[in-house]
């Protein structure tokens, strides 16, 4: 087989190598030097795709040191910082599993867009903007600030990184918010028009009575006949709870696209933030009156529905794992609704 003709394009530091598998010549930018009496060489393959103009642009990127393959990886990255924190036994040994899980979710959010970025380039304006963007869920927003500050102080004080002032320090938190509003029935009815992801997440939260993330990440294997295994995120414990008939039927009919009811792929669930984003987009279409309601409000509605069904506080706690104080708080809403219904019906 004849060897293909070598391109006639020549430039200083440009060399051509024959790729025998592809039966094609490939251009490389090559720099050589001597170090310690030994000749050294560094080459960057130029993905020219047979286009002379593209080759020229890539060549001059290399000559000016701006080619992507010439960039030195950042040393002080968010990925390196978070990995160091997660693998530090002095830190991990002091934290409860529930606390670790909360931190893990916020750190994954940071890594989504910032894993390879240099921590030192993080500005106060960027932190403030991210905090404001999360303002619809104030607790999540404030926890984000807390995690950024925690990591920054760890890098500066434990790793001796040259980070400078903590950009999260001094930014006002939203602070303690009022309790979550239980969803009104009109909004529950609107779920028929919601995207499948939102509809499924809402059904799981409402019928398990669990925190949104615990419900969203449930597996098909968590359902076994009349019973379901739910995760209490605060204590990091698995609890066996009786599964209502409607939820059993829902799980039986649900399409299986992976191990999880809300599957990202065969082995992973959809992330809470992805589901929350889809929910917010759907909620926005319902108008201003829907704005104050969040996914967590479905858990509170579960308490109200159980109370209206005549359940005792102990029975509601057995299903939802809520504190006695929280059950009592939302029971009042249920009692008020039940009494008002009875009163208004007497008008007839």
pLDDT above 80 (res 68): no
Sorted by where each begins, the domain ranges of the chain are 14-70, 78-157, 185-345
Instruction: Name every residue whose Cβ is closer than 8 Å to that of residue 108 and which is 6 or more positions away in sequence.
Output: 271
Taking phi over 0 as left and psi of -120 to 50 as alpha, with beta for the rest, 173 belongs to beta
pTM beyond 0.85, yes or no: no
pLDDT bracket for residue 338 (50, 70, 90):
confident
| Contact in structure between 124 and 167 (CB atoms under 8 Å) | yes
The CATH code belonging to domain 185-345 is: 1.10.443.10
pLDDT above 90 (res 246): yes
Q: What is the pLDDT of residues 162-182, one digit of tens each?
A: 999 999 999 998 876 667 899
pLDDT bracket for residue 336 (50, 70, 90):
confident
Q: What is the pLDDT of residues 106-150, one digit of tens each?
A: 898 899 889 889 999 999 999 999 998 887 778 888 999 999 999
Adjacency order of strands within the sheet including 227-232: 223-224, 227-232, 237-242
């Amino acid at each position: 087989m004849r060897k293909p003709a070598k391109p006639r394009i020549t430039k200083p530091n440009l060399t051509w190598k024959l790729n025998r598998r592809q039966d094609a010549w490939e251009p490389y930018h090559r720099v050589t030097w001597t170090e310690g009496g030994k000749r050294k060489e560094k080459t960057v393959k130029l993905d020219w795709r047979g286009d002379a103009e593209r080759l020229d642009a890539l060549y001059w990127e290399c000559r000016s040191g701006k080619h992507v393959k010439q960039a030195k990886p950042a040393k002080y990255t968010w990925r390196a910082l978070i990995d160091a924190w997660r693998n530090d036994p002095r830190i991990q040994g002091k934290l409860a599993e529930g606390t670790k899980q909360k931190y893990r979710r916020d750190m994954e959010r940071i890594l989504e867009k910032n894993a390879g970025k240099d921590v030192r380039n993080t500005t106060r304006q960027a932190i403030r903007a991210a905090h404001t963007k999360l303002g619809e869920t104030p607790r999540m927003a404030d926890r984000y600030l807390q995690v950024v500050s925690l990591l920054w102080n760890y890098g500066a004080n434990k790793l001796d990184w040259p980070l400078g002032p903590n950009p999260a320090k001094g930014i006002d938190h939203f602070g303690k918010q009022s309790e979550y509003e239980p969803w009104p029935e009109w909004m529950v009815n609107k779920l028929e028009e919601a995207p499948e992801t939102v509809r499924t997440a809402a059904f799981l939260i409402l019928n398990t009575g669990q925190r949104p993330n615990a419900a969203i990440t449930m597996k098909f294997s968590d359902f076994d006949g009349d019973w379901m295994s739910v995760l209490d995120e605060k204590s990091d414990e698995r609890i066996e709870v009786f599964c209502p008939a409607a939820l059993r039927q829902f799980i039986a009919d649900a399409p299986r696209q992976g191990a999880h009811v809300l599957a990202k792929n065969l082995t992973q669930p959809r992330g809470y933030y992805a589901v929350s984003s889809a929910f917010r987009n759907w909620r926005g279409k319902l108008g201003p009156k829907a704005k104050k309601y969040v996914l967590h409000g479905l858990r509170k509605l579960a308490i109200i529905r159980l109370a209206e069904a005549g359940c005792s506080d102990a029975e509601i706690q057995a299903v939802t794992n809520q504190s006695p104080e929280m059950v009592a708080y939302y029971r009042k809403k249920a009692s008020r609704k039940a009494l008002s219904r009875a009163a208004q019906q007497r008008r007839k």
